Amino acid sequence: MRYYVLDRGDQLSAELAEQFHQLAAQRHFVIDAVSPEIVISIGGDGTMLHAFHTFVNHIPNIAFVGVHTGHLGFYSDWKSDELAQLIELMSHDFISAENTARIVKYPLLELTIHKKSGTTTHVALNEFTLKGVYGTLVAQIDINQASFEMFRGDGICVSTPSGSTAYNKSLGGAMVHPSIEAIQIAEIASINNRVYRTMGAPLLLPKHHECNIYPNQDQRLLITIDHIVLPVDDLISVSCKVSEQKISFARYRPYPFWDRVKSAFLR
Ligand code: NAP
């Protein structure tokens, strides 16, 4: 098995990464930083975001596994004292090809960013946000090429189902089960009064629907893609839709999404 480990960089995560390498060597797993079959993220959900973006160009060929060094997370199933058990299950899969791992696939968000300086395409695991730097973001929002609203406010957040429990939740967005192929648009502090009006509620767009955001020109803006922050001052538009790609997680034991939600937010 070809694998790679990314850790959060704190002492516990680094020690666990070392421990993982030792256990993996005993099972004849091979470290592969270029085209691993399995990527192990050791840290938190934020570490999984880094792991995802490190291998973003190889997503169809990789299955991710998360080990949490704090509390169990949305992208991490394994606790720090369970490494030996995880390796045992991975090894069993590898030797017997019995596929004890269930591959669970989560939808991603595809973004096309058009700037005066060029066009780029990105994928997000959690979300994309567009915010004003010095003041109100003013942007025309179209859905499926039809004018929907003129937005004024701090910004706009477009999230994936698995990202719906992150920034989107803080904005009052709905938590969406990752089996639903959709993206969610949530407002960040929109201005609503007698003059300006936005929908004022989160919108869920299904696959094959598209949202296009056209900011007024000459605004200094900030784009975030998960943990990545990109200042822009020549943005023309951003198109958002459900990506054709999905992220794969290797699940060696069940941990249902609603159990994660309950354990993260209720107890
Ligand atoms: P961070 O500011 O260091 O941490 C953000 C927090 O969000 C961490 O507690 C992280 O969990 C958690 N998180 C990440 N993905 C999640 C998910 N899918 N569901 C539930 N919680 C999640 O930033 P970071 O670690 O680089 O992560 C970037 C993310 O922060 C962004 O994608 C955005 O979703 C989130 N964020 C949230 C807000 C907000 O809620 N107001 C504002 C900005 C950014 P771990 O502790 O397990 O890593």
CATH label of the domain that carries residue 214 = 2.60.200.30
Tell whether 134 and 183 lie within a shared domain.
Answer: yes
Tell whether 32 and 122 lie within a shared domain.
Answer: no
Residues touching ligand 1 (Cβ under 6 Å) are 44-46, 49, 73-74, 126-127, 162-163, 165-167, 170, 226-227
Indicate if the pLDDT at residue 237 is higher than 80. Answer: yes
What DSSP designation does 175 have? P
The per-residue pLDDT for range 1-52, each reduced to its tens digit, is 899 999 999 999 999 999 999 999 999 999 999 999 999 999 999 999 999 9
The pLDDT > 90 percentage for the chain reads 89
What DSSP designation does 60 have? G
Quick one: pLDDT at residue 97?
55
Which residue has better confidence, 184 or 263? 184
Indicate if the pLDDT at residue 98 is higher than 90. Answer: no
- Is 243 annotated to bind a ligand? Reply is no
Tell whether 63 and 191 lie within a shared domain.
Answer: no
- Is 241 annotated to bind a ligand? Reply is no
CATH label of the domain that carries residue 83 = 3.40.50.10330
Tell whether 121 and 210 lie within a shared domain.
Answer: yes
Tell whether 124 and 92 lie within a shared domain.
Answer: no
- Pocket probe for ligand 1: among 167, 187, 230, 261, the residue whose CB has the most ligand atoms within 8 Å is 167
Tell whether 181 and 235 lie within a shared domain.
Answer: yes
Tell whether 121 and 236 lie within a shared domain.
Answer: yes
What is the C-alpha separation between 80 and 83, in angstroms, rounded? 6
Which residues constitute the domain of residue 24?
Answer: 2-101+252-265
Tell whether 116 and 241 lie within a shared domain.
Answer: yes
Q: Which of 77, 84, 126, 83 shows the shortest CA–CA distance to 104?
A: 77
Task: Report the chain's mean pLDDT, rounded to a whole number.
Answer: 94
What's the pTM?
Answer: 0.96
* Beta-carbon contacts of residue 82 (< 8 Å; ≥ 6 apart): 67
